[in-house]
Amino acid sequence: MLSARRRTVEADLRLSAAAQHNSKALSWVDKQSPHDSFRSILPGLPDDVAMFCLALVPRKHLHVMSAVCKRWRSFIQSKDFIFVRKEAGMLEEWLYFLTTGFEDGRSHWEVMSSPEGGIWRIPPMPGPVRVGFCTVVFDGRLLIIGGLSKDGGAASVSADVHQYDARLNRWSMLAKMKVGRYDFACSEVNGMIYAVGGYGSNGDGLSVAEVYDPDKNEWTLIEDLRRPRYGCFACSLGGKLYVMGGRSSFTIGSSRFVDIYSPDGRSWCEMKNRGCVMVTAHAVLGKKLFCMEWRDQRVLAIFDPADNSWRKVPVPIVGSSAIRIRFGILGHRLMLFSLDGDPAYRTLIYDPAAPAGSEWRTSAIKPSRTCLSIVTIEA
């Protein structure tokens, strides 16, 4: 009886919190067509309460719910839906693995909603087979950007951008980049998507950078890098874009400089990289960057942008040191997956908030086969 009463009180508190913020969420309602504005989201309920009710639906049913009517689908696709679900405490984290080794010769994204829920595939990525592309996750969506397309044996540099909406379980095409590229760096910063460097159509290194505005569905060129850079990666730290690793046409070996772009100042600066250079896996967790370097798979390097410092944490990998690692994030913890699907390897989980000496544990969660990329999508 008490537990039921507690759940009722918690639901009332969430509804109250959502209602207090729904002046922002109701902006979605104002954007609907005049014809739609005469119809309620749920007949008999105010729109703010109706939005809260829809946000309580479990994630696995969202793609079915989106087929009920255009107004529901528009709301589920909107930023306001994520906002209301967060206020209601209903956001769910799902892991997406890009795996290979299938009979059709293509890579496929597989999904795991929980360790007990099994793994299933999402619809295949549209277009020809691509390599060297970048992935970015934002607002419940996965973007596949650029890459080297292979169609009928011929390879061409792609500027295409495809979007997978995890709420609708559906792919769509977005505006193309200004410059086709592969093996480049990309990241989301403050709701904008940046693409930097890489190889161009003639195979030369690029210094060109551009930014995508999701609200306008358009790319805009920004200030170039100071030097061409390729095979690098990017991440968002403190509201700025950090570009690290990879190589440059002007250096021998891996680049030891970090390029930093300030969206406010619309300009680049650089600093010396005193930590990881040949990075094989990276992820941002909290306000810090976690990396693993090619030359040492048994050490986790952690970068803190607050003071530009690096520290190292031993990784308790048992067995072969040749295991290749990919990072994933789930529940504010870092997960270390085996890229090759080694059956003897148990996924390691690192919890930076755990008491000293108990940060590491293992998990049975793992991809079904060889894994190329891992992302986490909240929706």
Q: Do 259 and 333 fall into the same domain? A: no
- Most confidently modeled range among 24-38, 141-155, 259-273, 328-342: 259-273
192-220: average pLDDT: 96
Helix, strand, coil proportions of the chain in percent (round to 5)?
Answer: 15, 40, 45
A 10 A CB-CB count for 89 gives 14
Mean pLDDT of 138-167: 93
Across the range 102-110, mean pLDDT stands at 87
- Tell me: pLDDT of 79 over 60: yes
Long-range pairs of 25-34 with CB within 8 A, sequence gap ≥ 24:
25/51, 25/80, 25/83, 25/84, 26/80, 27/80, 28/74, 28/75, 28/78, 28/79, 28/80, 32/71, 32/74
pLDDT value at 369 more than 90: no
For residue 118 the two structure tokens come to 């099994």
pLDDT of 286 > 90? The answer is yes
- How many Å apart are CA 132 and CA 62, to the nearest integer? 31
Q: Please give the average per-residue pLDDT across 264-278, as a whole number.
A: 90
| Range of lowest pLDDT (83-92, 113-122, 189-198) | 113-122
- Is the predicted pLDDT of residue 184 greater than 90, yes or no? yes
Which of 230, 255, 273 is at the close of a domain? 273
Q: Which among 36, 71, 87 is the end of a domain?
A: 87
Q: Directed axis angle between helix 70-77 and helix 47-55, to 10°?
A: 70
* Mean pLDDT value of segment 349-353: 96
- Residue 35: the pLDDT is 42
Q: What is the CATH number of the domain that holds 363?
A: 2.40.128
At residue 253, does pLDDT exceed 60? no
The listed range with the strongest mean pLDDT (32-46, 95-109, 124-138, 145-159) is 124-138
Q: Count how many domains the chain has.
A: 3
* 120 and 143 together in one domain: no
pLDDT at position 106 is 86
3-state SS, residue 245: coil
Strand-strand pairing, 218-222 and 209-213: antiparallel
Q: Both 247 and 302 in a single domain?
A: no
Average pLDDT over residues 180-200: 98
Q: Which domain holds residue 136?
A: 127-273
CATH number of the domain at 200, please: 2.120.10.80
Mean pLDDT of the chain: 87
pTM of the model: 0.88
Q: Is pLDDT above 50 for 7?
A: no
User: What is the rounded CA–CA span in Å between residue 370 and residue 105?
Assistant: 13
Q: 35 and 102 share a domain?
A: no
Model confidence at 306: pLDDT above 50: yes
Give me the pLDDT at residue 346, please. 87
One domain for residues 18 and 63: yes
